[in-house]
Amino acid sequence: MKTYGFDASLPAKPVKNIGVVLFPSFDVVDVFGTLEPLNLLSLERQLNLYMIAATLDPVSTAPRAMNAFNSSFGEVIVPSHTFDSVIRDQSLDLDMLLVPGGIGTRAPDLNDTIQFVRDVFPRLQYLLAPCTGAGIAARAGVLDGRRATTNKRSWEETVAYGTKTYWVARARWARDGCVFTASGVTAAIDAVFAWIGHVWGEAVAADLALGIEYERHTDPSWDPFGEHYGRSDVPPLT
């Protein structure tokens, strides 16, 4: 993937194969809010989905720590591919990779996930990293020299991962070339619609939004949450 700096006027690349990174305690709206319009779009054109995790063992959203109330509450997702199998199969063109956020981004053992994002990034046409998924992307180094945003509640801990990134404090989502980041959780839905509009055109995005009865935020600078939390831009340290 080329680095396009601050140029947001790139022509769209064709997209057929979409990958999703899964790790324990990922956020479900980051993944399924993003996939919802793509599930529908897959009925109208050929799209293939790769659900990619460290192993083929099912991945749970249940938090492994932070369970002071003894809840038994989590959803379990089955991966279709492993990080290793995708890295080894150089013939697999992943046109877009979704890197979700979630409580699991705070786990100490995310190194395999971060390494996968770092290794596969040069083969991508697009990266979408909503919410604290931007923290994984930052730790993988792929936000270096780019403009990005992230979850406004988890702002400080996440922007600390990307000291070479310009972090935009008032943004529903941010695009820098082929890299889309988004603010917290439901901002992923607005970001994926912006991306769909870029790749397949605004009419396709508008029809999909109508189909899921969603009132989009189409202004990337709409962000009452950045304001609520009093966040300010964080320029690169270096």
Site residues (CB under 8 A) for a second copy? Answer: 18, 27-29, 31-33, 35-36, 38-39, 42-49, 51, 58, 61, 63, 66-78, 80, 151-153, 183-187, 189, 210-215, 217, 224-225, 228
Q: Is 62 or 87 the residue whose CB approaches a second copy more closely?
A: 62
Q: Is 133 or 184 the residue whose CB approaches a second copy more closely?
A: 184
Closest contact distance (angstroms) between CB of 5 and a second copy is 27
CB atoms inside a 10 Å sphere around CB 204? 17
Closest contact distance (angstroms) between CB of 235 and a second copy is 23
Q: Is 42 or 115 the residue whose CB approaches a second copy more closely?
A: 42
Please answer whether residues 129 and 181 qualify as being in contact, where contact means their C-beta atoms are separated by less than 8 angstroms. Answer: yes
Residue 45 class from Cβ within 10 Å (0-12 exposed, 13-18 middle, 19+ buried)? exposed
The distance of Cα 121 from the centroid of its chain, to the nearest Å, equals 13
Q: Could you identify the residue written with the tokens 């003894």?
A: 70
Please answer whether residues 135 and 181 qualify as being in contact, where contact means their C-beta atoms are separated by less than 8 angstroms. Answer: no
Residues in the chain, overall count: 238
Closest contact distance (angstroms) between CB of 183 and a second copy is 5
227: left (phi over 0), alpha (psi -120 to 50) or beta: alpha
Q: Is 44 or 119 the residue whose CB approaches a second copy more closely?
A: 44
Helix axes 202-211, 187-200, angle to 10 degrees: 140
Q: Is 139 or 217 the residue whose CB approaches a second copy more closely?
A: 217
Closest contact distance (angstroms) between CB of 34 and a second copy is 10
Closest contact distance (angstroms) between CB of 187 and a second copy is 6
